[in-house]
Structure 1
Amino acid sequence: MTTACILAVLGSWLGFANPLYRLPLLALALPAGLAFAAARAPSATAAAKAGYWVGAAAACASLYWTALPLHDYGGLAWPLAVPAPVLMGLVLGLYTMALALLARLAAERLSPWLFGPFFALAWTVMEMARGTLFTGFPWLTLAAAFSPWPAAIQGAAFLGAYGLSGLLAGLLAWLVVCGPVSRQGLVAVAGLAALFFLGNGRAGQSAPRDGTIHATIVQGNVDQSRKWDPDSQLETVEKYVSLSRQAIKDAPTDLLVWPETTMPFYYQDHGPLAARLIDFAAAAGTPVLFGAPAYGRTLGGHVLFNRAYLLAPTGEEGTYDKEHLVPFGEYVPLGRFLPFIHKLVDGVGDFRPGKSEAPLRVGRLALGVLICYEAIFPELAQQRVEAGANILVNISNDSWFGDSAAPRQHLDLAVLRAVEQGRAIIRGTNSGISAVIDPRGRLMAQGGLFTTLTLPCPEVPVVSETTWYHRNHAVLTWAAPVLLALACLACAVLPKRRHGQPGRGITL
């Protein structure tokens, strides 16, 4: 069992994006190891311990990069910054501990044929809970490990990322607990093969489209340490204007996308720097989507927003305020009661969430905006498409995390949103990884890390048709926890299936 736990942790780290070596298939070692350890543990306590430490170690290893912004921009010494991913791992391990306990219960009381579906439901609900509770952090979704392989993730268009993760986990549970030569194991192998071959056929097809546009992403690669320096504001504006002007000369452009908080000043004041942008958009005849901080007035003073602007050549403006903020990055949870805790990154103050999910419109385009890590939440992309978005735009700034696995892991999650919703995603970042993703999860264009570039992409699909997952999102969201609850109830009333040989796992 110890060997299975070690392989699960190593497989998880090597399956997700990391700085050493990556093979997505190895990520399956995580559900395989957890299922095996839970079913073969000598007791429920042993299963819980195995589930906890496997989940905690896997999360800590994959999220090592969370220490970087705390040290580089938060001013914390390494001995204080390094514990951050460890603490995150210790919290996230609670989810896999609960999963292991449920799997142990099922292994004792359910038939082998039912164990796989039970584990699939439990895994799905675990990822859903991790993405919802305590503001949510659905970062290490199992399906995201396979984003580099579009053929492997097409199931997300029908089951969503959580459902696809659960299906993969359930098939692996059958394979390792029942054995590869058992009937369940053979069904698992056939299921994995069918997922790939059917997915390969779908990934090779063109998505339905209403038309296309030529989009250009401008990646300014502005030094994060100088970004908020007032003396650098004009330089930043001129850099983006100059790069954009040259991009438009090189190829006709229907939409320019600049990153999150591209403009480090209050554009809404319409001062000289804002006027420079308005003049540029008018002269270029091209709409520009960019990020900037914003504020609103209240009786108590001011509130701040992380805002995206869509500036049309006519001077008309549409805005979207980020609604899912980063805890301790953009606001301090319970800050009123914890005044000694300050934000861990540079900025202009505590932000407040926006309220509108309506797309930003210009001409035939309806742009559903996801700012920064909003792209990791399936429900936010779902809301944008429900509101009428025919293209999703993710503007972000991953400069905080340096040349680590974070930007790559972030891109992997954005790919899942494209497949789930059947929408192209234009992803503009300050320092990478900027990309355009088609509705099948294929990268149409991709830039590098920490380079200044313009990334043109013709033929970006404009889509109004929705996926099966989108149309049945509510049913799928409630079905998994309800079915799991019923299965747990059945386990609670059924007698144990094995006697006299604790730790031997499912009896075939």
Structure 2
Amino acid sequence: MFSLVLVGTLGAWLGFANPVLQFPLAALAFPLALTWIGLRAISLKQAFKFGWFAGLLAGIGCYYWMVIPVQTYGGLPWFIALPCPVVLAAAMGIYYGLFSVAMYQAGQKLEGIPLCLLAGLTWASLEMLMGWLFSGFPWTNLASAFAPWPFAIQGAALLGAYGLSGVLTMLAVAALLFSTYRSTLYLSISLSIGICAFGVLRISHFNGPKASYPISIIQGNIDQGAKWDPEYQAATVKKYATLTLQAISHFHPKVVIWPETAMPFYFQDKTPYKKAVQILAKDSRTPIITGSPAYKVIDAKARKYVLYNRAWLVDDTGRALQRYDKEHLVPFGEYMPFEEWIPFKKLVQAAGDFVPGDNNQPIIIDGVALGMLICYEGIFPELAQQQVERGASVILNISNDAWFGETSAPNQHLNLTILRAVEQGRWLVRSTNTGISAFVDPLGRITAMSTQFKAEHLNAFVAPINDTTPFHRNYDLIARSIYALTVAMYGLFVFGARRKEQ
């Protein structure tokens, strides 16, 4: 069993973005090993134990970067920071332990193609639960490992990232069983050809509108440890203004995008820094979208207020009339869940104590609707779905990945966000403080990408798109069908077993 744990762990470490070498195909070894653990286990307890252990080790390798924001920017000692990725991996490992348990149970009743089908449905169901339960954290979404290979992720336009993960799991399990069941050999070959052929054909026959809408991204590369120091505020504004003027002089964009919390002050207040940004937008006749914290006074006398992680549009007249407040906050970073029961404060103190926004509409510039996603909102399919449902013709993700330092997290974050472009059939514009900033087309191909930890402007043309993908049109149906089919198949096992015993 320990050898299978090792296979699954190495598959996750190499398959997902990592500091050494990413080989997406290796990620299939993760569900393959978890399935094998379940099929070889002699008890439900053993299946869960080794499945959970494989998930724990895989998670530690994928979440190790958590130590950086907690210790370096959270100001907490190493003996608190170091266990954080282990605790998270242990919690997420429960899902993988349950998957092995499911395969243990299914393996006693099913064989061949039905077993592969149930494995795929179970994996997709568990990933959807990961994205929802306890606010959700679908960071190790299997489909995201294949984002560097655009041809392999086109299925997300049909089934979404979770559905595609289920198909990839079916492929992995079919490959595992082919020496025992001839039918699974045919299934593995068919799925491999189908995924590749559909991807290649969709890419080669894509006939979207011409990319003619110019956008500039500004990557300020501001030191996260210094950006909130009042002494650096003027230098920060000046740096973004200088890079913006360079972009405008070279490219003449319709809008310039600054990252999440690019402005380290309350933009709603009347300050010289706000005035400088307004003058820049007005004099250059170029709208600017920038992130900054915001507040709402609840009780002025009691000095009670709430904070928002906000994106502002400063239009070409210098007015800031449109905005977006982040809806899905980072637990233990931007807010403290179960605060009354947990005996410590937030793990990242510098992030602020925020409340979520609601009923956010796309930001509209000259008739083009930009669907906003702030930071890790880009890893949640439902938020991109919501923005497109409200009319977004381009998806805009602003983030500040400086928290992660020189780890694999920015690459993992980018790979997850790329799937939103394919799912929704939209151009994705991603602006970050230290990288990775990028322009991604509706097929998940990166058309322009920044260099990490370099102050620069990135320019490209995008195309506003109003057509929707099959995934978008059938979003609710797909999710319900995955859950319903999973439950139905397990229900049939239980019914069949009881009838046989009678």
Is residue 335 from structure 1 mapped to residue 339 from structure 2 by the alignment? yes
TM alignment of 1:489-508, pairs within 5 A: 489-495=491-497
Separation (CA, whole Å) in 2 of partners of 1:68 and 1:271: 33
Deviates more, 1:67-76 or 1:318-327: 67-76
Partner of 2:474: 472
Number of residue pairs aligned between Structure 1 and Structure 2: 497
DSSP 3-state at the match of 2:212: strand
Partner of 1:392: 395
Kindly state the Cα deviation for residue 148 of structure 1 after the two structures are TM-superposed.
0.3
Partner of 2:441: 438
Cα-Cα RMSD: 1.8
> What whole-Å deviation, never above 9, does each CA across 1:26-60 have from its counterpart, x for those lacking one?
00100111111111222222211121111111111
Separation (CA, whole Å) in 1 of partners of 2:209 and 2:328: 29
Separation (CA, whole Å) in 1 of partners of 2:390 and 2:261: 24
Partner of 2:458: 455
DSSP 3-state at the match of 1:14: helix
> What whole-Å deviation, never above 9, does each CA across 1:48-99 have from its counterpart, x for those lacking one?
1121111111111111101111111122232321111111111011101111
Partner of 1:203: 203
Separation (CA, whole Å) in 2 of partners of 1:321 and 1:76: 28
> What whole-Å deviation, never above 9, does each CA across 1:292-341 have from its counterpart, x for those lacking one?
00000114621100000011102342100001001111111122454x42
For the 8 Å contact 1:216–1:247, the answer to whether it is kept is yes
AA partner of residue 77 (structure 1) = P
TM alignment of 1:351-366, pairs within 5 A: 351-366=354-369
Separation (CA, whole Å) in 2 of partners of 1:112 and 1:493: 20
Separation (CA, whole Å) in 2 of partners of 1:375 and 1:330: 16
Partner of 1:215: 215
Separation (CA, whole Å) in 1 of partners of 2:425 and 2:279: 35
Is residue 30 from structure 1 mapped to residue 30 from structure 2 by the alignment? yes
For the 8 Å contact 1:8–1:34, the answer to whether it is kept is yes
Kindly state the Cα deviation for residue 6 of structure 1 after the two structures are TM-superposed.
1.0
Kindly state the Cα deviation for residue 186 of structure 1 after the two structures are TM-superposed.
2.1
Kindly state the Cα deviation for residue 372 of structure 1 after the two structures are TM-superposed.
0.3
AA partner of residue 377 (structure 1) = F
Match of 2:350 among 347, 350, 353: 347
Separation (CA, whole Å) in 1 of partners of 2:46 and 2:315: 61
For the 8 Å contact 2:398–2:430, the answer to whether it is kept is yes
Partner of 1:246: 246
For the 8 Å contact 2:74–2:350, the answer to whether it is kept is no
For the 8 Å contact 1:108–1:496, the answer to whether it is kept is no
AA partner of residue 333 (structure 1) = P
> What whole-Å deviation, never above 9, does each CA across 1:89-130 have from its counterpart, x for those lacking one?
110111011111111111111242211111110000010001
For the 8 Å contact 1:261–1:292, the answer to whether it is kept is yes
Separation (CA, whole Å) in 1 of partners of 2:151 and 2:351: 43
Separation (CA, whole Å) in 2 of partners of 1:18 and 1:348: 25
Separation (CA, whole Å) in 1 of partners of 2:35 and 2:393: 40
> What whole-Å deviation, never above 9, does each CA across 1:339-384 have from its counterpart, x for those lacking one?
x422222437411100123101111210110000000000000000
> What whole-Å deviation, never above 9, does each CA across 1:393-447 have from its counterpart, x for those lacking one?
1000011110100000000011101000001111000000000100000001001
DSSP 3-state at the match of 2:108: helix
Kindly state the Cα deviation for residue 178 of structure 1 after the two structures are TM-superposed.
4.2
Separation (CA, whole Å) in 1 of partners of 2:421 and 2:239: 30
DSSP 3-state at the match of 1:495: helix
Kindly state the Cα deviation for residue 200 of structure 1 after the two structures are TM-superposed.
1.5
Separation (CA, whole Å) in 2 of partners of 1:381 and 1:262: 22
For the 8 Å contact 1:375–1:414, the answer to whether it is kept is yes
Kindly state the Cα deviation for residue 253 of structure 1 after the two structures are TM-superposed.
0.9
Kindly state the Cα deviation for residue 168 of structure 1 after the two structures are TM-superposed.
0.7
For the 8 Å contact 1:152–1:199, the answer to whether it is kept is yes
Match of 1:373 among 338, 355, 376: 376
> What whole-Å deviation, never above 9, does each CA across 1:262-296 have from its counterpart, x for those lacking one?
00111111322111111100111111111000000
Partner of 2:318: 315
Poorly superposed stretches of 4+, deviation over 6 Å: none
Separation (CA, whole Å) in 2 of partners of 1:264 and 1:205: 45
**Structure-2-length-normalised TM-score:** 0.96
Partner of 2:179: 179
Kindly state the Cα deviation for residue 5 of structure 1 after the two structures are TM-superposed.
2.2
Is residue 487 from structure 1 mapped to residue 489 from structure 2 by the alignment? yes
Separation (CA, whole Å) in 2 of partners of 1:391 and 1:354: 20
Structure 1's unaligned 5+ residue stretches are 499-508
DSSP 3-state at the match of 1:19: coil
Partner of 2:158: 158
Separation (CA, whole Å) in 2 of partners of 1:134 and 1:97: 18
Partner of 2:148: 148
Separation (CA, whole Å) in 1 of partners of 2:202 and 2:351: 46
**Structure-1-length-normalised TM-score:** 0.95
Deviates more, 1:38-47 or 1:66-75: 38-47
Deviates more, 1:157-166 or 1:281-290: 281-290
For the 8 Å contact 1:207–1:439, the answer to whether it is kept is no
Partner of 1:19: 19
Is residue 409 from structure 1 mapped to residue 388 from structure 2 by the alignment? no
Separation (CA, whole Å) in 2 of partners of 1:52 and 1:246: 52
Kindly state the Cα deviation for residue 448 of structure 1 after the two structures are TM-superposed.
1.4
DSSP 3-state at the match of 2:337: coil
TM alignment of 1:413-432, pairs within 5 A: 413-432=416-435
Separation (CA, whole Å) in 2 of partners of 1:4 and 1:337: 38
For the 8 Å contact 1:35–1:177, the answer to whether it is kept is no
DSSP 3-state at the match of 1:347: helix
